[in-house]
Copies of this chain bind each other. A is one copy, B any other.
Amino acid sequence: MKPNFSLRLRVFNLNYWGIPYLSKHRVERLTRLGDFLNMESFDLALLQEVWSEYDFQYLKQKLSPTYPAAHYFRSGIIGSGLCVFSKHPIQELTQHVYTLNGYPYMIHHGDWFCGKAVGLLVLHLNGLVVNAYVTHLHAEYSRQRDIYLAHRVAQAWELAHFIHHTSKKADVVLLCGDLNMHPKDLGCRLLKEWTGLYDAYLEAQDFQGAEDGCTMVPGNCYVSQQDLELFPCGIRIDYVLYKAVSGLCISCKTFKTTTGHDPHHGGPLSDHEALMATLCVRHSPPQQDPSPTSGPAERSPLTSVLREAWSELGQGMAQARWWATLASYMIGLGLLLLALLCALAAREGAREVAILLWTPNVGLVLGAGVVYLFHIQEAKGLCRAHAELQHVLGQAKEAQEPDQEREAAPLQGLQEGEGLKEQ
């Protein structure tokens, strides 16, 4: 790494909306996307919702002269939908699948079947280690009654934790993706506060694109106006976030979004807008470092958002346990009915009806059993994130009261105990 060194990184991000047979003009949009990526020759192109591996293979083939390295992140039943194309060799790659990701019985929402994840690429550029993350969190289907809020907050925490633990030797950290959260949403604040990542839209020296940086806009012909009922100007749920370590200064020179049509004024590339950022990394004196990477729990806005997330996850745990309890009552009721049917079957008159009802009743007991197990697992997953947040909050408290360090141990014991009780 030379002292006068500087690195320019051009990044593209798009939620491509590629559901086979369902997404409109999928093949035509894919062709135009490939042409555009080839023409622009970004350093990195990160995509979400590439649900068909054939679409990835098509792009891979088409982009291989410009982007020799590519990877498709496989997970769940359908897949994570995440993939990446890089002009530079990918040194390392891995992924983390989120513990919680909706409910299997919400088939019409489908998120559970996808195995939503975060993918990590490690690149070595001009002597710098660049960790690039791509992710897609659980969708928000109703803002007024969001039954997935606790899951999305848990995902945001896992994402923040994953970045924290895997980027300790990275010089530059980049996170792109569809977070399915508005900028002021709890999960988004938690992620930004914990990781210290900067929002390219807010930091950009030159911004061109949709009003307020929105990434789902009413002008896009694929966007249902019903989805934007509460936000007629659009919503911002796709992000480019970044930071650099001490000794490096990172800035966003330009940030662009498409505005309801492709960059050449053709039809839109997707129902989401594409994001394009140019980041510059150069040396700077360590004292000017704008991105604290250690001891974040000591900062007060973080403590407040951690508490908020802790409380939200607690509510989620209570909800999960409520469902598990309901399912256990259903199991009990089903078993009682089975016993009744056995008694009925012994009598001559009602034998036929009893035999007919036997199998659906067994189905009820089995179904309720599966629901019970699922919600027990959900409660465990939420409890895990809850306990991790509690550990971090405990540390923040200790940092604020260094003299009472000795007394912190019984408190920690109490915290673990609470976790058990809530289970």
Query: A-side interface residues toward B, CB under 8 Å?
Result: 53-54, 57, 60-61, 64, 68-77, 79, 90-97, 99, 113, 115, 120, 161, 165-166, 168-169, 352, 355-356, 359-360, 363, 373, 376-377, 380-381, 383-384, 387-388, 391, 395, 409-410, 412-413, 416-417, 419-420, 423
Contact = CB atoms under 8 A, between A and B. Distances in A.
A409 B64 contact: yes
A338 to B, nearest CB: 14
A54 B419 CA distance: 11
Contact of A416 (B70, B161, B360, B395): B70
A376 B96 CA distance: 19
A387 B74 contact: yes
A53 to B, nearest CB: 5
Contacts of A97: 99
A422 to B, nearest CB: 11
A341 B157 CA distance: 51
Contact of A74 (B75, B380, B417): B380
A388 to B, nearest CB: 7
Given A77-B380, A377-B77, A169 B166 contact: no
A350 to B, nearest CB: 15
Nearest to A374: B77
B54 A420 contact: yes
A75 B380 contact: yes
A75 B94 contact: no
Contacts of A54: 420
Contacts of A391: 71, 90, 93
21 contacts: A53-B420, A64-B410, A68-B409, A69-B409, A70-B413, A70-B416, A71-B387, A72-B419, A73-B384, A74-B381, A74-B384, A75-B380, A77-B373, A77-B376, A77-B380, A79-B380, A90-B391, A91-B395, A92-B165, A94-B161, A359-B363
Binding site secondary structure of chain A = helix
Contacts of A76: 377, 380
Contacts of A61: 413
Nearest to A384: B74
B423 A53 contact: yes
A117 to B, nearest CB: 10
B53 A75 contact: no
A165 B120 contact: yes
Question: 9 nearest interchain CB pairs?
Answer: A68-B409, A359-B359, A168-B169, A74-B384, A165-B166, A74-B380, A77-B377, A74-B383, A77-B373
Contacts of A69: 409, 412
A60 B419 CA distance: 13
A169 to B, nearest CB: 4
Contacts of A395: 91
